[in-house]
């Protein structure tokens, strides 16, 4: 039986590590944030302004699934921008989710370090004096699109009135809280057997895939 699996969670929560582990399997077709990655549509879902989320998925994610099934039994995609689409994805595809979680303090610290030292993609409207990235490859369009996809407080929500006065640490802390709160709200709306939560602190080949599930020639995991 062919199956689509989506790895989701807040940024810097182990989603990439999980994808790399599953890519060891001979039975999976794994994709790291393939385009189109629905950055603008994701922001519309966070804001409640996207009129037709189903159509957005049909022209992008559904096409990727169909092509992958021609090459393997399991399609695995890591895409943090798909968190607000989880219920719609479940209804359209009957997919499974691997939900990566991480201690908030560790996740926020990792995001700040990643932003300052590698890639400045978090809340460019921030007015704090953080260090610019040392290697952004000059791809401002991608940076802006990812940044745009991140949720912001809505007009009547807490923190909206002082959002532009907040430090990046405060913004990123709000991001982690918002994404995880919405993530588990969406999990409550899909079948319990459709998702697996994995804390990155407990993440290893042994905890994710018992030895009896691994092929003799090459480590592998059946999602």
Write the pLDDT tens digit of every residue in 141-164: 555 889 999 999 999 888 999 999
- Sheet arrangement for strand 3-8: 28-32, 74-78, 3-8, 96-101, 195-199
The correct CATH number of 3-213 out of 3.30.420, 3.30.200, 3.40.50, 3.90.1150 is: 3.40.50
What helix, strand, coil percent values describe the chain, rounded to 5? Answer: 50, 10, 40
pLDDT, tens digit, for every residue of 43-89? Answer: 999 999 999 999 999 989 999 999 999 987 899 999 999 999 999 99
- The beta strands (E) that lie in 33-136 are given as 74-78, 96-101
CB atoms within 10 A of CB 167: 15
> Is there a contact between 183 and 97 (Cβ–Cβ < 8 Å)?
no
- Cα 206 to the chain's mean position, in Å? 23
| Sign of CA pseudo-dihedral 168, 48, 61, 83 | positive
C-alpha–C-alpha distance, residues 183 and 163, integer Å:
22
Residue 194 structure tokens: 């459709």
Q: pLDDT class for 130, splitting at 50, 70, 90?
A: very low
The values of phi and psi at residue 7, to 5°, are -95, 120
pLDDT at 153: 96
C-alpha–C-alpha distance, residues 74 and 223, integer Å:
8
- What element of type H or E holds 6? strand 3-8
C-alpha–C-alpha distance, residues 186 and 84, integer Å:
8
Is the pLDDT at 96 greater than 70, yes or no? yes
Q: pLDDT class for 32, splitting at 50, 70, 90?
A: very high
- What element of type H or E holds 16? helix 15-22
Give residue for tokens 């959002």.
Answer: 163
pLDDT at 142: 52
C-alpha–C-alpha distance, residues 50 and 126, integer Å:
25
* Average pLDDT value over all residues in the chain: 86
Lowest mean pLDDT among 35-44, 106-115, 124-133: 124-133
Cα three-residue angle 185-88-192, rounded to 5 degrees: 50
> Is there a contact between 184 and 112 (Cβ–Cβ < 8 Å)?
no
First to last CA, the chain: 12
């Amino acid at each position: 039986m062919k199956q689509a699996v989506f790895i989701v969670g807040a940024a810097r929560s182990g989603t990439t590590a999980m994808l790399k582990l599953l890519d060891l399997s001979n039975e999976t077709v794994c994709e790291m944030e393939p385009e189109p990655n629905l950055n603008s549509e994701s922001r519309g879902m966070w804001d409640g302004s996207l009129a037709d989320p189903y159509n957005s998925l049909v022209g992008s994610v559904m096409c990727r699934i169909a092509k992958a099934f021609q090459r393997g039994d399991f399609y695995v995609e890591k895409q943090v921008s798909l968190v607000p689409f989880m219920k719609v994805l479940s209804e359209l595809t009957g997919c499974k989710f691997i939900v990566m979680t991480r201690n908030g303090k560790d996740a926020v610290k990792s995001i700040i370090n990643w932003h300052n030292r590698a890639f400045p993609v978090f809340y460019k409207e921030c007015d704090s004096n953080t260090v610019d990235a040392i290697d952004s490859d000059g791809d401002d369009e991608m940076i802006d699109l990812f940044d745009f996809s991140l949720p912001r407080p809505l007009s009547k929500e807490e923190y909206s009135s002082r959002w532009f006065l907040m430090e990046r640490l405060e913004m990123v802390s709000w991001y982690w809280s918002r994404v995880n709160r919405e993530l588990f709200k969406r999990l409550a709306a899909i079948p319990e057997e459709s998702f697996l939560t994995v804390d990155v602190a407990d993440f290893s080949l042994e905890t994710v895939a018992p030895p009896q599930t691994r092929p003799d020639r090459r480590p592998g995991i059946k999602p």
